[in-house]
Amino acid sequence: MLRYLLRRLAIAVPMLIVASFAMFMLVSLSGDPLSRFRSMDPPPPESSIRSMELELGLDRPLPERYVRWLLGVLHGDFGKSVVNVDIGQVLPGRLLISLRLIVIAIVVAAIVSIAVGVIGAVRQYGLIDNSLSVLVFVGMSLPLFWFAVMLKQWAISINRSSGRTILYTIGDGSQTGAHGLALLGFLALPTIALAVNIFASWSRYVRASMIEVLNTDYMRLARAKGLSRTQAVLRHGLRNALMPFVTVVALEFSSLVGGAVVTESVFQWRGMGDLLLNGIRNLDVHVVMAWLLVFATATILLNLLADLVYGLLDPRIRHARTF
């Protein structure tokens, strides 16, 4: 397992470098970061614009700019921002806010999707399965932005009827130092919005995988040995059914990050989503690259983690022998 882990990490490093180069080229060619200054009326002196170009390194060829940026990142310097934001200083706090939302949403969605998928498979084509299927398809059809806005309106009506703020519709709680139940009030709505958006599709994968497992010979053998259906499902079926689900979670992490950007925008969280949107508005190459680099790294690491989880779910897998 250790050899496999080291090998995957060795492959991930050049993969990340190639991905960062492609992203840097695309982001740098997307527009002129100083265009908003050039379009001012009256425009600033040409000497000022020239000075900003030199400060941001825009006068250098793209390959050289990438190399300088990459060397800076290796030393913890993410480059200069157009709006004078210290990227390295704000990045950890913004990342913590976004990861808190994403991780909690993944945990909630995974638990609910596994429960719904297993129950639907065990009660296949019954009343419970059909009812859950309707609920799942409704969840899949809900646009995330619209659903988040509806949750805000619902929370506002609850707060008004109760005469106090139970569910917070704006902010992430970091500015107020919220903790305990207050922090839960900030987290509840964004987590529900993001979790509902992903649990619906995940539960269908679990259901399909569990139906396939229930029809295998080893499940029939487990029942023949005297295990109840619940015992057979939990002891033998669930572990094998979860292997495709682990793959789905890892592969859909990037879309989950995109959903987090939308969710943070609706609830006005000052996380990585807000950082990305401001960077795009300002054509701030280094801010956008910092965001892309962080989540590209997270995606690669999550896929590596998924491969390692396979070994825990299925003892027959031995990475060291394969590689």
Same domain, 56 and 113: no
Same domain, 301 and 253: yes
Residue 291 predicted with pLDDT over 70: yes
Residue 312 domain flag: yes
Residue 90, amino acid: V
Residues 6+ apart with CB under 8 A from 199: 108, 109, 110, 112, 113, 116, 139
Residue finishing a domain among 40, 74, 108: 74
Residue 320 predicted with pLDDT over 50: no
In the chain, how many domains are there? 2
CATH number (domain holding residue 284): 1.10.3720.10
- DSSP state letters, 232-295: HIIIIIHHHHHHHHHHHHHHTHHHHHHHHHHHHHHHT--SHHHHHHHHHHTT-HHHHHHHHHHH
Same domain, 280 and 212: yes
Residue finishing a domain among 24, 41, 74: 74
Q: Which domain holds residue 37?
A: 2-74
Question: pLDDT grade, residue 322 (50/70/90)?
Answer: very low
Burial 148-187 (b: 16+ CB within 10 A, else e): beebbeebeeebeeeeeeebbbeebbbeeebeeeebebbb
Residue 142 domain flag: yes
Residue 307 domain flag: yes
Per-residue pLDDT reduced to its tens digit, 246-285: 888 888 888 889 899 999 999 999 999 999 999 998 888 8
Same domain, 160 and 44: no
Tracing tokens 């989880």 back to the chain, one arrives at 309
Residue 180 predicted with pLDDT over 80: no
The whole-model pTM stands at 0.85
Same domain, 6 and 144: no
- DSSP state letters, 50-90: HHHHHHHTTTS-HHHHHHHHHHHHHTT-----TT---HHHH
Residue 237 domain flag: yes
Sign (positive/negative) of CA torsion 180, 145, 87, 42? negative
Burial 53-81 (b: 16+ CB within 10 A, else e): eeebebeeeeeebbeebeeebeeeebbbb
Same domain, 217 and 69: no
Residue 70 predicted with pLDDT over 80: yes
Same domain, 160 and 246: yes
Same domain, 138 and 57: no
